[in-house]
Amino acid sequence: MFLVYSASPISRGCVNGLFQPLTADRAATARRYVMFTLAINWRECFKIILPLHTMKRAKTTQAGPSKKATKKQEGNRKDEPKDSQESSEEEASTSKASFASKPDYQNFDQFLTHLEVQRFSTADSIKEFSFRKKRVRVLSKNEDVKESSKGGVVYWMSRDGRVQDNWALLFAQRLALKLELPLSVVFCLVPKFLNATIRHYKFMMGGLQEVEQQCRTLDISFHLLIGPPVERLPEFVKTNDIGAVVCDFSPLRLPRQWVDDVGKALPKSVPLVQVDAHNVVPLWVASDKQEYAARTIRNKINSKLNEFLSEFPPVVPHPHGSGCKRSKPVDWPAAYAKLQCDMDVDEVQWAQPGYKAACEQLYEFCSLRLRHFNDKRNDPTADALSGLSPWLHFGQISAQRCALEVQRFRGQHKASADAFCEEAIVRRELADNFCYYNEHYDSLKGLSSWAYQTLDAHRKDKRDPCYNLEELEKSLTYDDLWNSAQLQLVREGKMHGFLRMYWAKKILEWTATPELALEYAILLNDKYSLDGRDPNGYVGCMWSIGGIHDMGWKERAIFGKVRYMNYQGCRRKFDVNAFVMRYGGKVHKKK
């Protein structure tokens, strides 16, 4: 059972009180402050000055084309924020309206400026924004923040490694602004995490270095604590007299255990609050049970997008100090020296870590590849996918931001924009749903009974050939397409989405048992893929090998009724030879 916010009686220091409108006085002070800081920041922001009409459009057309909608929005900024229920219709019109016309940016710098404009035209800060209270749940018994706490509010960043477009940090800032308390961000770096390699650590830590810099410019202190959260975070909270902890959300076993452990170890007086900053529709709002398939969750999600697919307000410079004795710059080389991971699988060149690189990927996708997404996304020789999954996995960009920006092109590329949202919202959030509600998300115990029974019935079928892990890892199969896909994974830390399905299904065909097949697929995916250890990965492997979210097909050897894929089918879909030439997979002799 989880607690969702309810509109209970509030005190000023109660986290629930955050959803209350500000008093007129406080709103006016806030507005004066924000206008002052914005005056400084906007000048900075617009050093690369966009043509004036672009800014005008951002405030009118993009944030709402009809005068009525614009007036409403302005009204909302000038007056008190309404409570979240009241304003949902308003946001709905805003978000739909935003999609009406293609944005004007011409290059990447203008794209970054466009993002800033979007945020500042949504609200001056999170304080003036009607925060969706359903994004938040209180995990502790206590919900009252000690207002005299010197350390203020801390955002324990874990899954969502970014500053802007992060509902968890926005909520933490809202709490800190309301109570006039300091704000800080903490990340607990675990030196060994499942089988993450230096490839993953460099990507994650590169992103965090950018987070540290951004926090500094916003007067928010950033702390990198080395060690498991339960050992480091409660100690940090006590030493620094922290008043409240806000964490983000992951459906996976280990991060959930961390949150549970930290919750138990925190002082009773310190509330622990969780915000789903990864999903557009918070997981606990989308559905309260494991869904059968995309068809059963699609409408549950899409019917709530009017409410949740809103623009983001900005995280603004924090006016109440950082509390935690002005954090020293992080000693990154010392942090790297503490890592105990596989150092052999090193970084890849095509994907640079961090928010800015993520935005560049999104910018290039919107400008160059989106138009081909619908028609060409199952062709591994075409450059039609977003390639965003590494940044999405580490939370360096928000899926909500990606969906918002892609939707602005709906007028030109409707089918592609819709197809992208199906993947980035519905399929991605279905994966979170599966991992959250099925404790066996990475084992055959998690399959539907039809799928388990059919695989079990074919357990003794002859595998010819039958490969071991080393042969698979070194691309030594008789299938040059499979070997090429495996080489792509090892070299680039990524495999094309269509080939991922083929790749995992062949592992089932060539491995002694379905249990081993699932184990090898997860192991190789998590070891080499930059986006590995993600709900999407567990669900992708479970779909391919165990038919989850799928239905039964014609029965055949080894697979039983689980959907089958073969080489000839790939030949019919795309130029297999071209792909093989690109990655150089060989045809090895069958054993």
Ligand X SMILES: Cc1cc2nc3c(=O)[nH]c(=O)nc-3n(C[C@H](O)[C@H](O)[C@H](O)COP(=O)(O)OP(=O)(O)OC[C@H]3O[C@@H](n4cnc5c(N)ncnc54)[C@H](O)[C@@H]3O)c2cc1C
**Span interacting with ligand X, options 56-64, 270-278, 426-434, 441-449, rule CB under 6 A:** 426-434
**427 scored as a contact of ligand X (CB under 6 A):** yes
* Residue 581, phi then psi, degrees to nearest 5: -60, -40
Site string for ligand X, 327-366 (x = CB under 6 A): ----------------------------------------
**388 scored as a contact of ligand X (CB under 6 A):** yes
**16 scored as a contact of ligand X (CB under 6 A):** no
Closest separation in Å from C-beta 368 to ligand X: 13
Candidates 534, 559, 574, 580; binder of ligand X (CB under 6 A) is 534
CA distances from 486 to 475, 491, 496, 513, 586 (A): 6, 9, 10, 20, 11
Q: Which of residues 543-582 bind ligand X (CB under 6 A)?
A: 544
Residue 50, both tokens: 């966009």
Candidates 278, 500, 506, 527; binder of ligand X (CB under 6 A) is 500
Identify whether the C-beta of residue 499 lies closer than 8 Å to the C-beta of residue 548: no
Candidates 393, 408, 413, 561; binder of ligand X (CB under 6 A) is 393
**379 scored as a contact of ligand X (CB under 6 A):** no
Number of other CB atoms surrounding residue 10 within 10 Å:
15
**63 scored as a contact of ligand X (CB under 6 A):** no
**Span interacting with ligand X, options 79-87, 183-191, 257-265, 388-396, rule CB under 6 A:** 388-396
CA distances from 21 to 76, 198, 306, 561 (A): 11, 46, 22, 56
**Span interacting with ligand X, options 150-158, 268-276, 477-485, 536-544, rule CB under 6 A:** 536-544
Identify whether the C-beta of residue 422 lies closer than 8 Å to the C-beta of residue 430: no
**Span interacting with ligand X, options 62-70, 147-155, 422-430, 579-587, rule CB under 6 A:** 422-430
Closest CA to 429 of 458, 454, 392: 392
Number of other CB atoms surrounding residue 60 within 10 Å:
18
**525 scored as a contact of ligand X (CB under 6 A):** yes
Can you list the positions of beta strands (E) in 190-284? 221-226, 242-247, 272-275
For residue 275, list its beta bridge partners: 136
Gap between the Cα atoms of 363 and 358, Å rounded:
9
Residue 385, both tokens: 């996918």
Candidates 158, 386, 400, 454; binder of ligand X (CB under 6 A) is 386
**514 scored as a contact of ligand X (CB under 6 A):** no
Any idea what DSSP says for residue 127?
G
Candidates 387, 395, 493, 547; binder of ligand X (CB under 6 A) is 387
**504 scored as a contact of ligand X (CB under 6 A):** yes
**431 scored as a contact of ligand X (CB under 6 A):** yes
* Residue 428, phi then psi, degrees to nearest 5: -65, -40
Identify whether the C-beta of residue 556 lies closer than 8 Å to the C-beta of residue 550: no
**532 scored as a contact of ligand X (CB under 6 A):** yes
Site for ligand X, rule CB under 6 A: 377, 385-389, 392-393, 423-424, 427-428, 431, 497, 500-501, 504, 525, 529, 531-532, 534, 536-537, 540-541, 544
